[in-house]
Amino acid sequence: MPDSNKNQAVDNIKERFALEVLDNYVNKALGKKWRDHKSTLKKEYFKKNISLEEKLRNVQLGMLRYQWEDAVRFWNSKK
């Protein structure tokens, strides 16, 4: 997740809640949630038995095309 998105999320949390929250704590929590979300997406929507082109066309709801394509290319790469 880009730092600008993390910073915006931290600012949103601070505006909505009367809490003293450490940026580092929020960033760690957001990072974990983001990793869990990507893992769930991969388990549910990344099928190995279809072509790369078909995977790239199957953009999941709630994701921007470039985000989906980046994730699919990463998952499809030989690490």
Dihedral sign computed on CA atoms, order 32, 33, 35, 39: positive
What is the residue range of 58's domain?
A: 46-79
pLDDT for residue 26? 78
Q: Are residues 36 and 20 part of one domain?
A: yes
Chain segment 1-54, per-residue pLDDT in tens: 677 787 888 788 778 877 676 777 877 888 899 899 889 988 888 888 889 899
| Cβ atoms 65, 59 nearer than 8 A | yes
Q: Are residues 58 and 69 part of one domain?
A: yes
Q: Which residues, in sequence order, are CB contacts of 55 under 8 Å at separation 6+?
A: 46, 47, 72, 76
Name the domain count of the chain: 2
pLDDT for residue 1? 65
> How far is it, in rounded angstroms, from Cα 9 to Cα 14?
9
pLDDT for residue 65? 93
pLDDT for residue 36? 94
